[in-house]
Every structure is written in structure tokens, then in C-alpha cells.
Amino acid sequence: MPLLAKQSVRMRLVNKEKVAFLLASLSEDDSIRFHENFTNCGGAWLQAQPRHQYHALSDTEVATALSIKVLMENGANRAICSACGQGVGAGHVDCCMGEGAGAAAIRARVWRHNRIRDAVLRAVRSSKRIVRSEPLLLQNNNRRADLWIGTADNGLDMDGRNGWVDFKVKHAFAPDTQHVRDLVPIRDDLAWQHLKLDNALGESARECDLSYAPLNLPQRVVPCVISAGGFLHHTFLTMLVDLLDAWTRKKLFVDISLALIKARAMVYVLN
């Protein structure tokens, strides 16, 4: 009698088949959004253990998170947004600037950026590195990065690879990303959604590099770009792998995921 594979292995194969079937039934944009919301960081809020107000979700925030995760843009699944009057397309929650939503969206984006920056700062400090927030890049210039990171074992010198870091949160379906997403063909495997998202976020990474180029800095300011749904650009992920162990990264993903959900809930209304 042949030996059966472990139950965990069998369930992994079954789930992989079901996900592939589901993605095949979705439109291209919805398939990308589904992939974005279920990445290690995008879905990490499900693993959060409530400790304080910033590490727990209210009922409204949970409703927001679940609705977005199942690709609902509003409670009634309307085709027109009740806030701005525009069509509710893929990821509309991340770019709606309708009446009453514009100011809230700006506040939410600033809050989201600062929460992500502070979460990474705490994680890197816990790994025995000196970290400074918003360091000046040059003495004769007011330009600042988001973080300055020192060498291992609390060294006083700047890290040679990830010394300066700049965080960006990007709407993956922004109009300026369409042309790079179109460069990736749809395939039968599950990798094309990943490549389309990485290409979309790569636009922000390139813009960041160009903005710092005139300063002629001694080393690159690393552009750490993440989508509003929690997909990490490969440069951001590489930086975290360089600096943090797997357990610390997992805890950081939860903190970042909570910040993204809370920011969405500041603007998104389930109605």
C-alpha cells in the first residue's frame, strides 16, 4: 500500500488548485488585487494579537478589511462611488478624492507613511542597529531621507547598502503604472500577478532614484515601495531580508498590514 503524503502537503496542493481556479474566474484587475491582498504582508493583519489601540482593529476596520479582501468596493456593490460620483474600479478605495474624502485621504496617507516608517525603525533597532528618523542627507541641503541605518552590532558608521531609506506607498492601479503592467503577459501560472505588481511599484522606485540623483550622494537612498494593499517591491523586501531575521520580519509585516488597513478605514466607508 503506497504511503500517503502528509495532510499539510495534501491541503497545500488542494488550496493551490482552488486559488488557481478562483484567479482564472476573475478579471485581470481583480486577479491582481486578490494577489495583492493575500501576500505575506497584505494579509498579515489576520495574525495580529490585540495589545493596544494601534495593534487591534475596530469593528469598522475589520469590516473594511474583509470587504476589500473579497473585492467589494462598497456595501451595496454599487458601480458608482457615493463620495466622488466616479466609477468604482479596481482599487478605487485607495485613490478616491470625492467630497469629504479628499482631506481625510491626505491625513490617512501621511499617518500611514509615518506608521510604516516607525514600525521599520523599531524592528531594525531590535536587531542591534542604530537607527535615526528623518536624517539630513547633506549639511547644505534640507532634503531628508526617512531613516538612517547604522552597521550591525550597534556600529556608528552608516550601513554600506541600506544606510539611507525612503518609504513610498503606491496605488498599484494608478494611471502612470498601466504601461508597465501591460508589459507583463498573462500566463497560466500564478507569477504574472506578482510581476505586474512589482513592475507597477518599480515606477515609484525609479522616480525616487531620479529625485535624489541631483544631490550626488555617496550612496543610494534605497526606495522602499509598498502598495496600498501590502505588496512589497523587491527592493523593499531585499532590504528587510538584509537587516532582519525571519521572525522579526513576520512581526513587522503584521504592524505594516495593520497600518494599511487602518489608513484605508479612515477614508473607506462601507455604505
pLDDT at 206 (0 to 100): 94
* End-to-end CA gap in the chain: 57
φ, ψ for residue 260, nearest 5 deg = -65, -45
Q: Of the segments 33-47, 56-70, 78-92, 183-197, which one has the largest average pLDDT value?
A: 33-47
Q: Which of 32-46, 121-135, 244-258 has the weakest average pLDDT? A: 32-46
Return the pLDDT at 163.
Answer: 95
Q: What is the pLDDT of residue 55?
A: 76
Residue 102 — pLDDT band, cuts 50, 70, 90? low
Mean pLDDT of 12-34: 80
Query: How large is the average pLDDT for residues 73-98?
Result: 63
Instruction: Please tell me the least confidently modeled range out of 35-39, 52-56, 111-115.
Output: 52-56
Residue 11 has pLDDT above 60, yes or no: yes
- Residue 93 has a pLDDT of 66
207-216 CB contacts, 8 Å cutoff, 24+ apart? 208/166, 208/168, 212/137, 212/143, 212/166, 215/137, 215/138, 215/141, 215/143
Rounded mean pLDDT, 73-84: 61
Whole-angstrom distance, CA of residue 84 vs CA of residue 243: 42
The pLDDT assigned to 255 comes to 94
Query: What pLDDT is recorded for position 213?
Result: 93
Single pTM value for the model: 0.86
Judged by average pLDDT, the poorest of 3-7, 68-72, 90-94, 144-148 is 90-94
Instruction: Say what the pLDDT of residue 6 is.
Output: 79
How many CA atoms are closer than 13 Å to the CA of 141, on its beta-carbon side?
12
Per-residue pLDDT, 177: 81
Q: Which pLDDT does position 225 carry in this prediction? A: 96
Q: Please provide the average confidence, as pLDDT, over all residues in the chain.
A: 84
The more confidently predicted of residues 68 and 87 is 68
